[in-house]
Chains A and B, each alone.
Chain A
């Protein structure tokens, strides 16, 4: 499967803002990305960048993966865009020079499965409401769950709160959970108030 990894960076300080922005830009394209992530970039001034994985074997992924489409994405998103193919392939770089390193870091982290907080990933649509912990890996691309302050059993209930944001580590998507009311666990990554009053979302 040929995959294109794309990094996007506008230097966002606010993670929910970035999440809204990248999903808003992608709305213009028909379900093109297998994964959409945000990544905390600590190079230079700490900020959040975004990354996409496009399956070039599908019509939608291939369409978005064209240089013309990526140029449109970069224009709509702003900042910088860096596309990486598999190792050795030439990269496409667009937009502000100063922001390209962050975009490159985000794309490479997703390619290597080393980092990226997934806001869209395969099987996410099945992780709504309450789900058995043991069912999560079969329902979705999440490979495993790790818990803080509790131990997990397959029959424990994950109350997704319709907000599941697993993160890549060691080549796989992993979901960190914490104990919650009623013996359930909830994702450690909680929806947060979008504090930017100016952007209209």
Chain B
């Protein structure tokens, strides 16, 4: 699913929000005449005191606290975008298991063929790190990956690992192919995987928290950085997975990964895999927790995480769905941190494969002696399970300059991602134009642009809407898009900061039936008279599961059919406000 976005067409625009007051902002229009999202928007603004007699759209100055622009924040910001850069939108998945994991089943080529079938342009094999995997699985995986690259055309297949972060959660780590990639993976896993270190007695346990154990994680990231510097590998990135599931990645650890070796830890899984797990038993599912987020806090959980954080909301991690939460607090530092959506495919819903071999050969004990399972066997009997094939439900869209191994990693690093569920949108193109200082197409998601203080900043979002069925057979109906923005306040003094009180939904766009029929929508918003640096991001919903503020609702255990609660999220774009 590649999308070449053209920028010359102006098919249909929404009413310019700066010129006409939306119905929800017009208090002459009674509540009863508003749509549910309009009413939700009005009530939210009334509660926050932002909606009075006059419409509020278009001004950041009243909504955001004044923030000091520190020199160090400037230094940390990404480089300015080339506003004329064109991107290809490449769909992918960085979290896929195979028979080389103790708890999974499929062949590398099988995952690759399905990923291709379900529209992906890139994918990452991430079997679980550990002593067995490190010793026995990496080499045969690399043979299979090289073969799959030949066998399945037009899909980039990276080899990586699902790293047990010492003292933390799991994370995807992957490298560009070539050079000493396989030796580097082996050395990285041997030296820095939490399960390997715990088995060797180097650390007390893979998830055991202590500054000394955390240090192994930072050293591991620096090791990867050093290998790039030394020319042993081309490039590498790390993305923490299912961050809130057990509360193991504290805010200071996430910031620690980010800062340990800049450019290696670049973002996180914003929506975990295992999205089929919440399908009710009555609908043929396993009736578990969406994303398998049923874990409650344990001894190693960060104590500052609230009980609400251990759930998914509309299929996404709480840290992402909470407006003004942990992710926003990291973005408010003015640093990129992209988000993704993955399958975490181990056993796929209604598939009919079982592990090959004798009952003994299907056990973890067998894996532990061989580093792999025998090829899976097709039984013809579809079995409910928690996961979907790569690309089937969860896609990470990366805006890349080219379709190659380096460009996708660069797109992730530079924050040009959209995390999309169930084909809710086929493509999104967020552009930011800061008057007077940039022109052309503007900077895109992940980008940074400059605006003079007191001038206006225009945001344009072009949406490529679904007009054909997704893999569930439904044509997804995008109902609304929220524009979320918050001040850039610079580096935090407390590394465990997990709130960004200035961040909020500044505008909700409703998508009309006419837009959906046409298959495109263009959303426009103007930040007027900007005074301080800020960032912005998007989220969109099918409108099925919203609370009174238009936020996603908690996914109900055993009753969260993911196809009826679709969202997409963008990563952030940054605007520097400078001068007088």
Residue positions of A touching B, CB distance < 8 A? 13, 15, 40, 42, 45-48, 148-150, 176, 178-182, 186, 188-190, 192
Contact with A along B281-312 (1 / 0, CB 8 A): 11000010000001111111001000110010
B282 contacts which chain A residues (CB < 8 A)?
181
> What are 22 pairs between A and B in contact, CB < 8 Å?
A13-B300, A15-B298, A15-B299, A40-B299, A42-B303, A46-B209, A46-B300, A148-B307, A148-B308, A149-B556, A178-B554, A178-B557, A179-B557, A180-B558, A181-B281, A181-B282, A181-B287, A181-B558, A181-B559, A186-B557, A188-B296, A190-B296
Q: Which residue of the partner chain A has the closest CB to B207?
A: A13
Cross-chain contact B299 with A47 (CB below 8 angstroms): yes
B: which residues have CB within 8 A of A?
205, 208-210, 280-282, 287, 294-300, 303, 307-308, 311, 553-554, 556-559
CA distance A182 to B554 in the complex (A): 15
Question: In the complex, A48→B209 CA distance in Å?
Answer: 14
Q: Are B299 and A181 in contact, CB atoms less than 8 angstroms apart?
A: no
Total A-B Cβ pairs within 8 A: 57
Question: Is B557 in contact with A182, judged by CB distance below 8 angstroms?
Answer: no
Determine the chain A residues whose CB is within 8 A of the CB of B307 once the complex forms.
148, 176, 188
Are B296 and A46 touching (Cβ within 8 A)? Answer: no
* Smallest CB gap from B558: residue in A: A181
A45 with B210: CB separation less than 8 A: yes
Task: Report Cα–Cα, A188/B309, bound state, in Å.
Answer: 12
Q: Output the least CB separation between B441 and chain A (Å).
A: 41
In the complex with contacts A13-B205, A149-B311, A181-B280, A48-B557 CB distance below 8 A? no
Q: B210 — which chain A residues lie within 8 A by C-beta?
A: 45
Give Cα A15 to B297, complex, Å: 10
CB distance from B140 to the nearest CB of A (A): 26
Write out the residue numbers on chain B whose beta carbons fall within 8 Å of the beta carbon of A148. 307-308, 311, 554
A169 to B558, CA, bound (A): 28
Which chain B positions have C-beta within 8 A of A188? Answer: 296, 307
In the complex, the answer to whether A13 meets B208 with C-beta atoms within 8 Å is yes
CB within 8 Å for A149 and B303 given contacts A13-B208, A181-B281, A192-B295? no
Q: How far is the CA of A190 from the CA of B308 in the complex (A)?
A: 15
Query: Which chain A residues border B295 with CB–CB below 8 Å?
Result: 192
Minimum distance in angstroms from B91 CB to a CB of chain A: 31
Q: Which residue of B lies closest to A48 (CB)?
A: B299
B75 CB, min distance to chain A CBs, angstroms: 36
Q: How far is the CA of A15 from the CA of B311 in the complex (A)?
A: 20
Q: Is A180 a contact partner of B308 (Cβ separation < 8 A)?
A: no
Q: Tell me the minimal C-beta distance from B424 to chain A in angstroms.
A: 22
Tell me if B557 and A181 are in contact (CB < 8 A): yes
